[in-house]
Structure 1
Amino acid sequence: MKKLSMLLLTILLVSCNNHERNCKDFRTGKFEFTQNIDGKKNTSTFIRTEKLQIETYNGKTDTASVRWVNDCEFILQKLHPKNMKEQKAISMKILFTEKNSYTFEYAFVGSNNKQRGIVTKLE
C-alpha cells in the first residue's frame, strides 16, 4: 500500500510539471544568452539560420554550423576552430520554451558534463 501511494504521488507530481516545447519557434532568429563566469555576468548575442549560427561575444565574432537532429536538438560545430577544444562539437537540447525564451541543456558531444542556460529571442 505504501509503494502504491508513493507511485501515485510521483505520477501526480510529474503530470503537473507540463512544460511547453514549441522548439520550431526558436530555430532561427536573433538571440541573447547571459551566463555568470567567475561571478561576472557575460552576454553573447547570436543570429541563427537553419544552417549557421553567428555569435558575438566580447567583441569577437565566431561562426558555427548548425545541424538539427530533431525539432528540439541540434549540433553546433565551429567553422574556424583556433584550438583542439574548439574543434569539439556541442550538443544542444531545448528542454522547454516560454513566450520569447527557451531553457536548454548543452555539452560537448560524448560528454556527460551537461550544463543549462536560458536564451532570449530578440527578433
Structure 2
Amino acid sequence: MDFSSIGIVLLGSTFGLILRIFIQDNFTIKIGFDIQNTSLVNFIASFLLGILVPLNFFSNYFLLFYAGFLGSFSTFSSFIYQLFILFKKRRYLSLIFHYTEVMIISFILFYFGYFISRIFK
C-alpha cells in the first residue's frame, strides 16, 4: 500500500467518524421500542454497503468508501460493547433481542440496498 492509498483511507475514515458522531449525538428513533444510536449507524452502514457491493469497483474509490468511510462509520466494537453491558447487567433477554434486532435489520437493509443498486445498475 502506498502513501496515496493511506491518505485516501484516512480521508474516508475522517468523514465516516464525523458523521457517526453526529448521528450518535443527535438522532433517536422510536418504533415501538428504542433503537440505540449505534444500531442506527450500523443500519445506515449496512444499507450503504448493500448499494456499493454490486458496483464491484476496485480503485481509490474502493479505499475511500469501503475501507475508509464505511470502516470508520460502522461501529462493530460499539455494538459488542453494548452487548457486553447487557450481559454484565444480566439482562439476557434484552441481549438476545438486541443482537437479533441488529443482525436481522442490518441484513434486510443490506439486501434492500443491494436490490436497489442492482435495479439501477
After TM superposition, the score normalised by the length of structure 2 is: 0.26
Greater helix share, structure number:
2
After TM superposition, the score normalised by the length of structure 1 is: 0.26
Greater strand share, structure number:
1
